[in-house]
């Protein structure tokens, strides 16, 4: 490809790349004939008869017949040598995905966008087109926040005479695909599949978190078995009708979803107007998840584990009396203010007014009470010899305020909620636990000088995980609100001690979280300015690179790191003052199923 070809396709001069996907690359380009800026989607084809090229041209034809203000407009189709392209309106704005991540949407604009997108999809459906890949990245917002649906590359045209879509192949994006799309059977996909995807988009817009996360296999299993945290568990202040709309759109059984996108748009508009949504078949919608799950017999084992967690949560939420059943030493007024039926709110005003000694006492009592209620051990020894400590669910204030001594710009103060319990290692992994055959003299010292990847592999091999930052800090604070879990200051730790030396044991029994070595977390660093972190990410103003590590260590300036202190380091490099402590899910205790991390904490704002 020559330099001239790189910048010129027909009468279009390429300016810069703005995106790419499975069907081609999108460029910002200058239309030299009409002197206007366009978006140019380009693909390379082996020959004009190839199925890929035909699908590419079909995408342009599909969009061209959808003349709607909220669907991207095709202006031209052409080719230059082996380069096939079509020109579209250039949208000067950002993707819906970016708008969600950067918190550019208000509650009202969120509902307005959902209504507009649903109506546009209904228009496409009435014209015989199923999108099949609806997701926030495929919706652009212009400068006025007007949504434009993009990327019809895998759209299904119901009147298409030529079979260009492959049968029995999953088409779409995992995490937004409906259960029937995951089956890969084209005959089972219809307009209700798009409605499911709209529901997933709605979920993310309202919560600013993915409905499903994990590995591809874990996400597929969650979608098929309906493992979804209800909206009210994440956003308790949302109107119940919105929760109903989202649940109905995302019903596993397509017969329980909206029959068309216009009905979904109508119900959202009723919420906008402050009117009641007329509900139908609510019992069947609740029952559908269970019934549909039982159809997937291969997933029955996973379902049983999931059901155990769900039932436990139900018992916690429904049957624990805030007055007659509370932890030892708690006062009735404190319990009433801090217990919400599911977890303790450590960010509550009354809790923050407690002395450090009382916070430690009550947090320890809560941990014991919770273990008894859920009927799981407060601590146990893992097969590797690692002592694991139960971390009960709760809401807490993560990070620090700008006025706090030692505050760093990336330590943004915010409320986070851990919805499910988990276990964390009492100590850092030791040299002996890392390698049982080691001949090292200091076998009880924490393992160090290992890369993030090596720590991750150790965890995976033993059915464990590295903690997320939010999981690490929550376990470190253990209900306290001071900079350190043991108070406002910390005695300097200048040397590595045996992991069993219980320096700075916190309320829940975790030791050495401010001492010994810094500890790898699962998160990658992300670069952003004045953006609130989301689950799984830490933000720095410097360019993004490496993984996050938490806690203090024996060396230099790292010997007095508090609960909130974070740093980053390349995942492929090691240092003598970096080690790790893993976490573990409750499902491991049910019957040693390390790959089903059912109790992964879910985080809200």
- Residue 157: helix, strand or coil by DSSP? strand
Helix (H) / strand (E) element for 351: namely: helix 349-352
Q: Please name every residue paired with 397 in a beta bridge, in sequence order, or none if there are none.
A: 415
Tell me the C-alpha to C-alpha distance, in Å, between residue 182 and each of 22, 157, 167, 174, 322. 18, 19, 12, 8, 43
Closest CA to 514 of 541, 476, 483, 552: 552
9 φ/ψ angles, rounded to the nearest 5 degrees = -130, 110
Q: What is the separation of C-alpha 114 from the centre of its chain, rounded to a whole number of angstroms?
A: 20
Q: How far is residue 331's CA from residue 442's CA, in Å, rounded to a whole number?
A: 46
Tokens of 165: 């879509």
**Cβ atoms of residues 326 and 339 within 8 Å:** yes
**Cβ atoms of residues 429 and 494 within 8 Å:** no
**How many CA atoms are closer than 13 Å to the CA of 53, on its beta-carbon side?**
14
DSSP 423: E
DSSP 387: E
Q: How far is residue 336's CA from residue 359's CA, in Å, rounded to a whole number?
A: 16
**379-381 and 387-391 beta bridge pairing:** antiparallel
Q: How far is residue 590's CA from residue 308's CA, in Å, rounded to a whole number?
A: 9
Q: Please name every residue paired with 84 in a beta bridge, in sequence order, or none if there are none.
A: 43, 79
**Cβ atoms of residues 121 and 194 within 8 Å:** yes
The C-alpha torsion from 157 through 163 and 169 to 172, rounded to 10°, is -20
507 CB-contact burial (10 Å; exposed 0-12 / middle 13-18 / buried 19+): buried
Q: What is the separation of C-alpha 62 from the centre of its chain, rounded to a whole number of angstroms?
A: 33
Assign residue 327 a region (left: φ > 0; alpha: ψ between -120 and 50; beta: otherwise): beta
**Cβ atoms of residues 419 and 342 within 8 Å:** yes
The C-alpha torsion from 166 through 168 and 174 to 179, rounded to 10°, is 130
How many helices (DSSP H) and strands (DSSP E) are in the chain?
19, 23
Q: Please name every residue paired with 26 in a beta bridge, in sequence order, or none if there are none.
A: 19, 41
**Cβ atoms of residues 293 and 303 within 8 Å:** yes
**Residue 41 counted as an annotated binding residue:** yes
Tokens of 576: 């003598």
Helices (H), 146-255: 179-182, 191-207, 216-225, 231-234, 240-249
- Residues belonging to the binding site are 41
Residues of the binding site for ATP: 41
């Amino acid at each position: 490809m020559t330099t001239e070809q790189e910048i010129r396709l027909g009468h279009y001069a390429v300016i810069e790349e703005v995106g790419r996907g499975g069907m081609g690359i999108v460029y910002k380009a200058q239309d030299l004939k009409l002197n206007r800026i366009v978006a140019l989607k380009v693909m390379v084809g082996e020959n004009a008869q190839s199925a890929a090229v035909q699908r590419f041209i079909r995408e342009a034809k599909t969009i061209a017949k959808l003349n709607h203000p909220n669907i991207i407009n095709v202006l031209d189709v052409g080719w230059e040598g082996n380069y096939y392209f079509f020109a579209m309106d250039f949208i000067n704005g950002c993707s819906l995905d970016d708008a969600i991540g950067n918190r550019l949407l208000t509650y009202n604009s969120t509902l307005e966008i959902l209504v507009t997108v649903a109506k546009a999809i209904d228009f496409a459906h009435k014209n015989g087109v199923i999108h099949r890949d609806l997701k926030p990245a495929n919706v652009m917002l212009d400068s006025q926040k007007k949504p434009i649906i993009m990327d019809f590359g895998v759209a299904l045209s119901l009147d298409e005479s030529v079979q260009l879509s492959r049968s029995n192949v999953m088409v779409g994006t995992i995490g937004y695909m409906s259960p029937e799309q995951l089956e890969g059977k084209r005959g089972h996909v219809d307009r209700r599949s798009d409605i499911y995807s709209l529901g997933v988009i709605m979920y993310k817009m309202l919560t600013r978190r993915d409905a499903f996360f994990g590995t591809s296999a874990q996400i597929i299993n969650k979608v098929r078995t309906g493992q979804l945290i209800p909206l009210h568990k994440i956003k308790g202040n949302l109107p119940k009708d919105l929760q109903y709309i989202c649940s109905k759109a995302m019903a596993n059984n397509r017969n329980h979803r909206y029959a068309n996108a216009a009905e979904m748009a109508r119900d959202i508009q009723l919420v906008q107007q402050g009117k009641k949504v007329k509900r139908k078949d609510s019992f069947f919608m609740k029952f559908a998840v269970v019934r549909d799950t039982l159809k997937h017999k291969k997933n029955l084992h996973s379902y049983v584990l999931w059901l155990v967690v769900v039932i436990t949560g139900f018992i916690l939420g429904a049957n624990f009396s805030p007055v007659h059943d509370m932890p030892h030493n708690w006062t009735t007024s404190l319990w009433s203010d801090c217990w919400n039926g599911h977890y303790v709110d450590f960010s509550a005003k009354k809790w923050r007014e407690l002395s450090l000694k009382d916070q430690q006492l009550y947090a320890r009592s809560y941990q014991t009470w919770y273990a008894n209620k859920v009927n799981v051990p407060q601590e146990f020894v893992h097969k590797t010899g690692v002592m694991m400590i139960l971390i009960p669910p709760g809401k807490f204030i993560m990070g620090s305020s700008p006025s706090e001594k030692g505050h760093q710009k990336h330590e943004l103060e915010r409320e986070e909620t851990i919805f499910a319990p988990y276990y964390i290692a009492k100590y850092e992994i030791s040299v002996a636990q890392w390698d049982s055959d080691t001949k090292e003299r200091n076998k009880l010292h924490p393992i160090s000088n290992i890369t993030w990847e090596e720590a991750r592999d150790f965890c995976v091999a033993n059915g464990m995980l590295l903690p997320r930052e939010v999981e690490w800090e929550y376990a470190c604070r253990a209900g306290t609100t001071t900079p350190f879990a043991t108070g406002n200051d910390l005695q300097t730790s200048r040397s590595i001690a045996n992991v069993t030396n219980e320096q700075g044991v916190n309320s829940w029994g975790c030791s050495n979280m401010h001492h010994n070595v810094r500890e790898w977390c699962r998160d990658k660093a992300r670069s952003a300015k004045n953006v609130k972190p989301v689950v799984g990410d830490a933000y720095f103003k410097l360019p993004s690179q490496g993984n996050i590590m938490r806690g203090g260590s024996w060396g230099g300036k790292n010997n007095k790191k508090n609960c909130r202190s974070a740093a980053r380091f390349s995942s492929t490099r090691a240092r003598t003052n970096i080690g790790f402590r893993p976490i573990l899910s409750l499902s491991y205790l049910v019957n040693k199923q390390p790959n089903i991390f059912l109790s992964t904490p879910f985080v809200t704002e």
